[in-house]
Amino acid sequence: LGYIASDIVARYKRLKGFNVLHPMGFDAFGLPAEQYALEHGIPPAVSTAQNIENFKRQLNNIGFCYDWSREVQTCDPKYYKWTQWIFLQIFDSWFNRQTNKAERIESLISTLEKEGNINHPFPDSATKKKRH
């Protein structure tokens, strides 16, 4: 019902003249996806891509009005480079290598409030780094 409800609201708002953002996303990581792939003897990346395409085809056949140009897939490197980058920023800002412990969250917030993002530039591409 969630897909139907969001489609109805998006169409209604468009009819009323609103500029509506109605994207679709696929959370492709998780144990069920891996288990399905193993049960069917398919690499998880292949079965995930097949399942996403099948679901998109079904949604299009029903006639939902998603903005496919804004589609998100958590298995897409263009997506997960940002989640990895955010995690590393938090880890590098929060983890004290001298004590080998995480600082209190209040310390992290205080540091980021003082520094802003000057010392935490956004990545221009996904890179692989050997971590500790």
Tell me the pLDDT tens digit for each residue of 92-129: 777 888 888 887 777 767 777 777 655 555 555 445 55
Q: What is the pLDDT of residue 40?
A: 94
**Angstrom distance (rounded) from CA 112 to CA 116:** 5
Return the CATH class of domain 2-75: alpha beta
pLDDT in tens, 38-48: 999 999 999 99
What are the residue ranges spanned by the domains of the chain? Answer: 2-75, 76-132
C-alpha to C-alpha distances, 98 to 88, 94, 95, 103, nearest whole angstrom: 18, 12, 9, 11
- The chain-wide mean pLDDT, for the chain, equals 85
Q: What is the pLDDT of residue 95?
A: 80
Residue the block writes with tokens 């144990």: 31
